[in-house]
Chains A and B, each alone.
Chain A
């Protein structure tokens, strides 16, 4: 009996120390099991339940300013979404529950990472394993997985295990790859093959950290290689990126539908409180800023931006957290970042792990 207890205690201690690195890995190995719920969500639930005794034992929780702003955001979106259901503007109860559930999950994973024994090196190791694994996956898919022909480009992370998730996986890589100068180049190659334009912009925006780092030589060499790859890559790989740079494509390409949706959604929004989470399918927004404004009003948008902006300002320099926030702010231009588990989960872990930075 005593041995059993000792064994359980050892397992608990192991989980406590390794929760952040293990959770970080779940985004790579987490397939969908039904609707938008993933195996990783159940894994997170397991950790949350396991750590309830730990949280209950803390009698006083110190809240930082950004955490208070985050809680006010959660309170606000809960209230406006609840009332939007009651008054009938919102007819998407299931969508509302799932979206709000994602915000709660983001906060819970953040709290988990902030409570557990924060170990930078283990989390970084986990990020390195994830990015290198995804690089190998991308290279395999790009050169062996699918055949090419001359009328279209190939996107990695869009078939098989990662079906339809090129942008999501690339977004997560953009956040993780900027944790370390060494990860930047592998991350760039994986993102480049994914064809995700916004993730590539986010990754390059986060690269500002490389110039601020003491190991800037590695970063500088990486950026030179990046420029060479962009210039010398075969046109089939560049086509998706080059097309975005052609001004006339704005009037004939896929961008128009997105702008059109944004315009309608913004026009219909009650400015202060929005239409409630889930009032439309999230696919019509494809922008976190527009989505939050349309569904929770200007108050919700201000509280969300304040949550991350306060955290950014509190950083003393451009470090891992600041970089992750820069990438987040770029990704959110054309992605519903916070409700995409593959992107938001690694971000929550990074923010939580470096809570006291």
Chain B
């Protein structure tokens, strides 16, 4: 017979182990998603962001140049941005990088990338395993077809 204080410990541990096991089993059968019953707070829309890159625009590691299709790898932002091309625009002397961004659009039509609002003048960082770019947003448009 278990003593009283141990009973709580045992019940809690058994319940926790059953729950963890059921969670792993569930994961083995289905991809983790957000329930349709809940508002999808992780739902994202696509936008095109134009980012001016003041020097020095390539941060460590400096081993590579951007290639079309490079994807963001930052924690919590994986594949949230994709490099499309470099442009020279008259409004700035700096090179301009164009990204396809998966961003959150709130009820007031404001666009958010991670916790930063995608508005002209805001900072924008893009990281891959070969390089990192940091610059200032010039413009955000609906996604290019």
Measured CB to CB, the residues of A under 8 A from B are: 60-63, 68, 71-72, 74-75, 78-79, 81-82, 85, 88-97, 100-101, 103-104, 146-147, 149, 151-152, 159, 163-164, 252-254, 256-258, 260-261, 264-265, 268, 275, 278-281, 283-284
Residues B16 and A258 in contact, CB atoms below 8 Å apart: no
Report which residue of B18, B19, B21, B123 has the largest number of chain A beta carbons within 10 angstroms of its beta carbon.
B19
- What is the CA–CA distance of A82 and B25 in the complex, to the nearest angstrom? 12
CB-nearest residue of chain A to B38: A268
How many whole Å from A171's CB to the nearest CB in chain B? 15
- What is the CA–CA distance of A354 and B8 in the complex, to the nearest angstrom? 23
- What is the CA–CA distance of A278 and B55 in the complex, to the nearest angstrom? 42
Residues B16 and A78 in contact, CB atoms below 8 Å apart: yes
Does B141 lie at the interface of the complex (its beta carbon under 8 Å from any beta carbon of A)? no
Choose among A92, A93, A163, A278 the residue that contacts B75 (Cβ–Cβ < 8 A).
Answer: A163
How many whole Å from A247's CB to the nearest CB in chain B? 17
Residues B34 and A164 in contact, CB atoms below 8 Å apart: no
Residues B12 and A92 in contact, CB atoms below 8 Å apart: no
Which of B63-71, B83-91, B112-120 forms part of the interface with chain A? B112-120
- What is the CA–CA distance of A91 and B26 in the complex, to the nearest angstrom? 8
| Proximity string of chain B (1-21) to chain A, C-beta cutoff 8 Å, 1 when within and 0 when not | 001011011011101101111
Choose among B22, B26, B42, B74 the residue that contacts A280 (Cβ–Cβ < 8 A).
Answer: B42
Measured CB to CB, the residues of B under 8 A from A are: 3, 5-6, 8-9, 11-13, 15-16, 18-27, 29-30, 32-35, 37-39, 41-42, 54-56, 59-60, 74-76, 104, 106, 110, 112, 115-117, 119, 123, 134, 136
**Cβ contacts under 8 Å, B30 to chain A:** 91, 93
Residues A152 and B123 in contact, CB atoms below 8 Å apart: yes
Residues B116 and A254 in contact, CB atoms below 8 Å apart: yes
CB-nearest residue of chain A to B75: A164
Q: Given contacts A72-B8, A149-B54, is CB(A93)–CB(B34) below 8 Å?
A: no
Residues B32 and A95 in contact, CB atoms below 8 Å apart: yes
- What is the CA–CA distance of A186 and B16 in the complex, to the nearest angstrom? 39
Q: List 16 A-B contacts (CB under 8 A).
A: A62-B5, A74-B13, A78-B19, A81-B19, A82-B19, A93-B25, A93-B27, A96-B23, A96-B26, A147-B56, A149-B55, A151-B123, A257-B104, A279-B34, A281-B41, A281-B42
Residues B116 and A264 in contact, CB atoms below 8 Å apart: no
Q: Given contacts A75-B12, A283-B76, is CB(A97)–CB(B27) below 8 Å?
A: yes
Q: Given contacts A60-B3, A89-B35, A280-B42, is CB(A81)–CB(B76) below 8 Å?
A: no
- What is the CA–CA distance of A152 and B54 in the complex, to the nearest angstrom? 11
How many whole Å from A306's CB to the nearest CB in chain B? 14
Residues B24 and A97 in contact, CB atoms below 8 Å apart: yes
- What is the CA–CA distance of A92 and B117 in the complex, to the nearest angstrom? 28
How many whole Å from B114's CB to the nearest CB in chain A? 8
**Cβ contacts under 8 Å, B41 to chain A:** 261, 264-265, 280-281, 284
- What is the CA–CA distance of A94 and B23 in the complex, to the nearest angstrom? 6
Residues B22 and A94 in contact, CB atoms below 8 Å apart: no
**Cβ contacts under 8 Å, B32 to chain A:** 91-95, 278
- What is the CA–CA distance of A236 and B42 in the complex, to the nearest angstrom? 32
- What is the CA–CA distance of A252 and B69 in the complex, to the nearest angstrom? 31
Q: Given contacts A85-B22, A90-B35, is CB(A100)–CB(B16) below 8 Å?
A: yes
**Cβ contacts under 8 Å, B26 to chain A:** 85, 93-94, 96
- What is the CA–CA distance of A92 and B35 in the complex, to the nearest angstrom? 8
Residues A94 and B112 in contact, CB atoms below 8 Å apart: no
Choose among B5, B27, B75, B106 the residue that contacts A94 (Cβ–Cβ < 8 A).
Answer: B27
- What is the CA–CA distance of A62 and B4 in the complex, to the nearest angstrom? 10
Choose among B20, B34, B136 the residue that contacts A101 (Cβ–Cβ < 8 A).
Answer: B20
